[in-house]
């Protein structure tokens, strides 16, 4: 009866070990998916960076180990550093955006290294834990075999003594002695099993706490990365997407137009006489104008187009899935809406207007060339008297 109870306890312990092992594998899968999403997040337009990120993604889709992933992360960090240290002669008009992208890439790679370092340490703990559990299972099996051998030996001795007994009294004495020895073997076995299962429970509880800690750390890091990513793509003054966010969005639009035959337009808008507003009423008034104009553009577009603060007093609008006629009509309404805004500075009304330039996105062009044409259209609107929109 006792042997059956302890055998069930032993099987229950093995089942718990298997559940813990499945839980550890599930955590590993979650962390690999997180790493894959981070690899997609930091992918830019650098050939070497993209190649390394593709290799990292391939490793993470399999069964990665620190020995294969950590060298790739080190090469990623070196590639980002080389990109950041490019000679002045290689600078382009979008250097400010590229610097911001490089900083974002470096920060994301550093956080990915931190995450994988944490995962590596925790997986090491789980590996040692599971190895210990296998040792415990082997030890339990060994103890069971030992008890079985002891009982069989006592039964064999009992059989020999029974055959050699000459009277009932001596036979009873031999039976009592053998049964006492067998009972002692069972008590010893039970004590050893109690101690072993108690140690197993303690280790299982410690591993459970470590798994919870790892899940909490992974969740916290993921939330932190998401918040920092959002901040990196948001203009702090207006709350609109910034130039980096525009560059990422326009890359998708360029691909859609080139590969899928989509329709899109780009509009460049600039607040008229903004320097005079700063010089006359102060930079606080200028900041207020930027905030209100930015909020007005976002409200008027209402998700029909993507708007970002491109820099200074200039805004850019991506009219995705919208032809030139509809985009022009919407662009002119934006200029008219800004003109109707009621601004006051130093208790005096201030008239604020906005000029715009609009152009169509063609499949044969890169995004930078399309924006340059929209910018030329904007300056044509300035020369035409401002507070209007010119289409090129």
Q: What is the CATH number of the domain that holds 332?
A: 3.30.70.270
Q: Would you say residue 237 lies in a domain?
A: no
Q: What's the CA gap between 259 and 160, in Å, rounded? A: 91
* 246 φ/ψ angles, rounded to the nearest 5 degrees: -60, -45
In a shared domain, residues 227 and 279 = no
Q: What's the CA gap between 287 and 235, in Å, rounded? A: 12
Q: How far is CA 290 from CA 96, 219, 385, in A?
A: 20, 36, 21
Q: Are 160 and 153 within 8 A, CB to CB?
A: no
Q: Among residues 231, 251, 277, which one ends one of the domains? A: 231
Pull the structure tokens for residue 84. Answer: 């950041």
Q: Would you say residue 255 lies in a domain?
A: yes
In a shared domain, residues 247 and 294 = yes
Pull the structure tokens for residue 32. Answer: 């690999």
In a shared domain, residues 312 and 180 = no
In a shared domain, residues 270 and 211 = no
In a shared domain, residues 204 and 257 = no
Listed as own residue / partner, the contacts of 337-346 with beta carbons closer than 8 Å and 24 or more positions apart are: 337/296, 337/300, 338/271, 338/293, 338/296, 338/297, 339/387, 341/292, 341/293, 341/296, 343/288, 343/289, 343/292, 345/277, 345/280, 345/281, 345/282, 345/285, 345/288, 346/281, 346/285
In a shared domain, residues 100 and 249 = no
Pull the structure tokens for residue 325. Answer: 């006629």
Q: Among residues 206, 231, 256, which one ends one of the domains? A: 231
What strands lie across the sheet with 389-391, from one edge to the other?
306-311, 314-320, 264-271, 354-360, 389-391
The Cβ-side half-sphere exposure at 143, using a 13 Å CA radius, reads 23
Q: What's the CA gap between 386 and 192, in Å, rounded? A: 91
In our burial notation (b when 16+ CB lie closer than 10 A, e otherwise), range 114-139 reads ebbebbeebbeebeebbeebeebeee
Q: Would you say residue 254 lies in a domain?
A: yes
Q: What's the CA gap between 334 and 269, in Å, rounded? A: 9
Note the residue count of the chain: 392
Q: Would you say residue 127 lies in a domain?
A: yes
In a shared domain, residues 34 and 147 = yes
* Choice among 133, 154, 313, 328 that is catalytic: 313
Q: Would you say residue 115 lies in a domain?
A: yes
In a shared domain, residues 296 and 373 = yes
Q: Would you say residue 140 lies in a domain?
A: yes
Name which of 34, 33, 73 is nearest 53 in CA terms.
Answer: 73
* 42 φ/ψ angles, rounded to the nearest 5 degrees: -90, 0
Q: What's the CA gap between 326 and 334, in Å, rounded? A: 12
In a shared domain, residues 226 and 260 = no
In a shared domain, residues 27 and 114 = yes
Query: Structure pTM?
Result: 0.49
pLDDT at 308: 96
pLDDT at 199: 80
In a shared domain, residues 370 and 261 = yes
Number of domains in the chain: 2
Per-10-residue mean pLDDT, the chain, length 392: 58 63 57 53 56 68 65 70 55 49 59 54 53 55 68 66 59 66 72 79 78 74 71 89 93 92 95 92 92 95 94 94 93 95 83 95 92 95 95 92
Q: Would you say residue 238 lies in a domain?
A: no
Q: What's the CA gap between 316 and 373, in Å, rounded? A: 13
Q: Among residues 197, 231, 265, which one ends one of the domains? A: 231
Q: Are 314 and 377 within 8 A, CB to CB?
A: no
Q: Would you say residue 236 lies in a domain?
A: no
Task: Give the range of the structural domain holding residue 274, as residue numbers without chain letter.
Answer: 243-391
In a shared domain, residues 203 and 249 = no
Beta strands in the chain (DSSP E): 264-271, 306-311, 314-320, 343-345, 348-350, 354-360, 389-391
For this structure, is 22 an active site residue? no
pLDDT at 114: 59
Residue with tokens 């009932």: 168
């Amino acid at each position: 009866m006792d042997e059956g109870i302890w055998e069930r306890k032993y099987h229950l312990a093995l089942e718990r070990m298997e559940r813990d092992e499945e839980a550890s594998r599930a955590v590993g899968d979650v962390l690999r998916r997180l790493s894959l999403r981070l690899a997609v997040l930091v992918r830019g337009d650098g050939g070497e960076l993209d190649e390394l990120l593709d290799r990292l993604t391939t490793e993470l889709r399999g069964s990665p180990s620190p020995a294969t992933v950590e060298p790739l992360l080190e090469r990623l960090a070196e590639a980002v550093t080389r990109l950041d240290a490019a000679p002045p002669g290689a600078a382009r008009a979008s250097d400010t955006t590229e610097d911001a992208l490089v900083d974002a890439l470096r920060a994301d790679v550093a956080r990915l290294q931190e995450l994988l370092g944490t995962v590596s340490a925790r997986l090491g703990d789980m590996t040692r834990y599971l190895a210990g559990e296998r040792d415990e299972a082997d030890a339990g099996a060994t103890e069971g075999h030992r008890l079985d051998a002891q009982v069989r030996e006592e039964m064999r001795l009992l059989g020999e003594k029974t055959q050699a007994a000459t009277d009932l009294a001596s036979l009873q004495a031999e039976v009592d002695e053998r049964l006492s020895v067998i009972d002692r073997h069972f008590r010893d076995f039970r004590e050893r099993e109690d101690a072993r299962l108690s140690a197993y429970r303690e280790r299982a509880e410690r591993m459970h706490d470590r798994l919870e800690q790892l899940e909490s750390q992974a969740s916290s890091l993921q939330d932190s990365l998401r918040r920092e990513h959002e901040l990196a793509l948001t203009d702090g003054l207006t709350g609109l997407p910034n130039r980096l966010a525009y560059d990422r969005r326009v890359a998708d639009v360029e691909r859609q137009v080139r590969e899928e035959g989509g329709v899109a337009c780009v509009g460049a808008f600039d607040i008229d006489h903004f320097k005079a507003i700063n010089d006359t009423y102060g930079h606080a008034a200028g900041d207020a104008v930027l905030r209100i104009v930015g909020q007005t553009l976002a409200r008027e577009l209402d998700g029909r187009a993507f708007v970002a603060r491109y820099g200074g007093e200039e805004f850019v609008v991506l009219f995705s899935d919208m032809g030139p006629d509809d985009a022009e009509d919407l662009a002119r309404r934006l200029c008219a809406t800004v003109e109707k805004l009621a601004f006051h500075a130093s208790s005096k009304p201030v008239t604020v207007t906005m000029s715009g330039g609009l152009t169509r996105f063609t499949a044969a062009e890169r995004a930078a060339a399309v924006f340059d044409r929209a910018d030329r259209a904007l300056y044509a609107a300035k020369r035409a008297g401002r507070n209007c929109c010119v289409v090129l």
